Amino acid sequence: MRWDGWGDPAKATGKLPGGVKLLLTAVLGHRPRRAEQIALADVELTTPPLDAADVRALAAAVGAEHVRTDHEARVLHAGGKSTPDLARRRARTQAAPGAVVLPGSEAGVATVLRVAAERGLAVVPFGGGTAVTGGLAPDAGEHRAAISLDLRRLAGLERLDDVSGEATFWAGTRAPAAEAALAEHGFELGHFPQSFEFASLGGFAAMRSSGQNSAGYGRFDAMVTGLRVVTPTGTLDLGRAPGSAAGPDLLRLFLGSEGAFGVITQVRLRVHELPAERFLDAFTFPDFRSGADALRHVVQAGTGPTVIRLSDEAETAVSLAQVGSIGKALAKGCTAVVLHEGPAELARARRAATTAVLTAAGGRPASRALAESWEHGRFDGPYLRDTLLEHGVFAETLETATTWSNLHVLRTAVTEALASGLGAAGAKHRVLCHVSHVYPTGASLYFTVVAGLTGDLAAAWEPVKARVNDAIMTAGGTISHHHGVGTDHAPWLRHELGEHGARLLRAMKNELDPAGIMNPGTLLTRT
């Protein structure tokens, strides 16, 4: 992965598609130009490497070759991949963990936590490194230093129960490796968030990830049937039965725990047979409101699409521009993309049922090219974001969710907060929005912002984001639908959970991690 951008350097062309360049010029009022770039070696780290005694103690736990204090390893574990993260990293000075520790077994993880607690080191678990809400910040809290606990060596398919459709993976397994291992046996997990190419299964669980196929296969939460978690005070093995009334479901406490309670080492997942058939379709709607209503009718009727998503007018225009249809991009309308999968007859029946509902709700079939373009480019958003950043253009995403009846209120509140925040910063901007995850009672809203911010981009964005977060709270949304809390959202989580909810979360952390070494500042603000 790139140190100063998303993913595969080979895919990072640094070139802006022509249509996007035109749109940007129209939105920002000037032609974007390539900005100066620095090299990894030029990054100045503001935190020292771990001292020799600490390194020796950790080396005794996992082997000397698995404790890294070199510049490259530290920079690569210095945070996540949000736009502010990358803007900070490109600004030359950067905090980094004192060392990167790579345990090769669950016992090794437990030993590292013991050593860290004894020596007063904070531990930041690191999966695929794709976090975008600050949860990978190398924050030592009240401790001497922070170490990054990289789980890449704890990887692979441990067990497949092909009768029950359950697969047990080590937490550091990257999503593509997991799908490849399952495909050998004719199975699929079917979890495809935008971070798919790099993220780890343990990360999905820790962050309560949700993928693009969530309509069909559910959030990652719904896929998890078991977890093993190493905490500073003991190891938990949770998820005994597919359905249970054996007290509260403690497994759910660790979905969304973001490394603040311990380290997820193993994930047991519901998998399904590779679908025999798939149908990809596009529909257009006169406006966002009628499109959202149509999606609501589909999910409430339960017709069973695997993917169903709706782009607003602005996002539809950009999508059309990206496929070169500038003319159509100027027309009004919203595009929905729908995918149906499964055994052939069932997939066909589901598609027919969804089509009937969408059509009855005012949808009209649209060119399949739009759906194919979405599918083709669905993991490429972050590369475009990087290219924009290299041209000095700020682009970021944020997301929330609410009930169907509150959806437009929330969308308006976020849009207005962005407009007023960016207006206060004197930045021209464009906001795109889509619905990508639907539930019987509500849906997510995913916003993409392109803004003419200048100077210190991370600093310029912070007050805008704070304004948006306040607006989400006031308008009844959740602080995150699938990006998580990290350090960025922690002050708002307290609001979302209420005083007593926050207290309960703190009590659980105190029980499992009494020394407070696990990912300080994530989830819980220091009080």
Through-space distance between the first and last CA atoms of the chain, rounded to whole angstroms: 35
- Per-residue buried b or exposed e for 177-208, using 16+ beta carbons within 10 Å of the residue's own CB: bbbebbeeeebbbbbbbbbbbbbbbbbbbbbb
Round to whole Å and give the CA distance between 105 and 170.
9
Contact 46, 94 (CB under 8 A): yes
| 3-class SS of residue 508 | helix
Name the residue with tokens 């539809």. Answer: 316
Which 3-state string (H, E, C) describes 352-397?
HHHHHHHHHCCCEEECHHHHHHHHHCCCCHHHHHHHHHHCCCEEEE
Contact 141, 147 (CB under 8 A): no
CB of 65 to its own copies, least distance (A): 32
Contact 89, 43 (CB under 8 A): yes
- Per-residue buried b or exposed e for 142-164, using 16+ beta carbons within 10 Å of the residue's own CB: ebebbbbbbbbbbbebeebeeee
If one counts every other C-beta atom within 10 angstroms of the C-beta of residue 360, the result is: 10
Nearest CB to its own copies, comparing residues 85 and 258: 258
Round to whole Å and give the CA distance between 419 and 484.
24
Phi, psi of 135 (to 5 degrees): -70, -10
- The string of DSSP codes covering 424-471 is HTT--EEEEEEE--EETTEEEEEEEEEE---SSHHHHHHHHHHHHHHH
Contact 299, 308 (CB under 8 A): yes
The dihedral through the CA atoms of 35, 324, 411, 214 has a sign that is: negative
The dihedral through the CA atoms of 23, 26, 31, 37 has a sign that is: negative
Of 221, 307, 306, nearest to 269 by C-alpha is 221
